[in-house]
A and B are shown apart, each in its own frame.
Chain A
Amino acid sequence: MKKHVAALMVLFAAASWSMLFAGPEDDRMAFEKYFTSKFPETPKHDFINGIYSIDPPSREQWLEIEEFPPYELSIDAGRSAWEKPFANGKGYADCFGDGAVRGQYPYWDSGRKEIITMELAINECREANGEEPLKYGKGKLADISAYMSFMSRGQKINVIIPEDDPDALAAYERGKQFYYSKRGQLNFACIDCHGSGSGNLVRADRLSPALGHVSHWPVYRSKWGNMGTLHRRFGGCNRQVRAASFKPQSPQYRELELFLTYMSNGLEYNGPGARK
């Protein structure tokens, strides 16, 4: 009898431990299952199309927009910038090869103990070659990002959290905590809108599911009237719930990007994109 009680206690402790301290891969599988169960009509690979993967009327409009995509000018501007050499004669190709590198970002740099995003790497490439860094969020940096994303279309999202680096796991956990924490005067967490609330209407707009959220950046947003990066959107989301936003490429948003991108591991990058 004592043996049975002890065995049950061990089982209970193990179950509690896994509930409380699930690793990134457990998180991702649960995340994916949640959305594929919530929207059974949507094939898993289609979640990269955001709201258009779950809302047929919006999808029809979007497909029409995609015939003459509003982000094309940005890709062209990015390509021109890509081809123009820096003052030292080198160029982006010296840092990124043919530019098809979106699938390598974001990643945890164990030496620097920080998360490197593609937009951060673009500016680091510039600075390493004696050029001024570009403003994050929109403009020229978004154009170069759009060109590189276009070149990377079809690459798989494959974020790796090194198991032997507790700092990497801590950064992932901070991003996860940010995602699930309520903030701002309206007291909303990211997951409130894009998890349980996904598919619901907010005024005239339907909320998109979080799975695949990171795949299609930068985005031409009709509301902005121009291109913007993922971190620009993070800031907008925070301000919508009346929280002060963080700066693009701040540690907070890089951690958020790491977590959210990990959640979409296995899906394809399909940026740049067009959204309402």
Chain B
Amino acid sequence: MMKKTILLSVLALVLSFSQVSANAEFEAAWKAADEKRMEAAAVGYEWRDTKKFLKQAKEAAEQGDLDKAMKLVAKAHEQSEDAITQQAREVHLWSSRVIR
């Protein structure tokens, strides 16, 4: 009986640590994605849905669906990277479209 209790306590502790670790991982990923979004906004190229994905990620995490939350964060991060690349490209390409 004693051994069983100890075993269950250890298991609960391990699970609790892994949950804390997953949450920390999410928080770090979310912060990085939001910083990338702000980087895109600073050059005037934020995409429409990026902020919405980050909001939905927070909500999913609060409901305990970390898998969904991480996928949304990854999508938001990727959008901002693409937006920054788009801006860097357009600095050179826009003038080729000018009506002359």
Contacts and interface: CB of A to CB of B under 8 A. Distances in A.
B25 to A, nearest CB: 27
Interface in A182-211: 182-185, 187, 189, 191-192, 195
Nearest to A177: B94
Nearest to A240: B48
Residue of A22, A31, A182 ringed by the most chain B CB atoms within 10 A = A182
B97 interface: yes
A30 B97 CA distance: 12
Nearest to A239: B48
Nearest to B51: A244
Nearest to A18: B100
Contact of B48 (A31, A180, A242, A246): A242
Given A183-B90, A187-B86, A31 B50 contact: no
Interface in A12-43: 19-20, 22, 27, 30-31, 34
B94 A181 contact: yes
A252 interface: yes
A242 B45 CA distance: 11
Interface residues of A, number: 28
B98 interface: yes
A30 B100 contact: yes
Contact of B50 (A19, A187, A244): A244
A243 interface: yes
Given A177-B94, A182-B86, A183-B90, A244 B99 contact: no
Contacts of A252: 44
Contacts of A185: 47-49, 79, 82
Interface of A: 19-20, 22, 27, 30-31, 34, 176-177, 180-185, 187, 189, 191-192, 195, 238-239, 242-246, 252
Given A181-B93, A242-B49, 15 more contacts: A27-B99, A176-B98, A180-B95, A180-B98, A181-B90, A181-B94, A182-B90, A183-B45, A183-B90, A184-B48, A185-B47, A191-B99, A239-B48, A243-B47, A244-B50
23 contacts: A22-B100, A27-B98, A27-B99, A30-B99, A30-B100, A31-B99, A34-B99, A176-B98, A177-B94, A180-B94, A180-B97, A180-B98, A181-B94, A182-B86, A182-B93, A182-B94, A183-B90, A184-B47, A187-B86, A195-B99, A238-B48, A242-B48, A244-B48
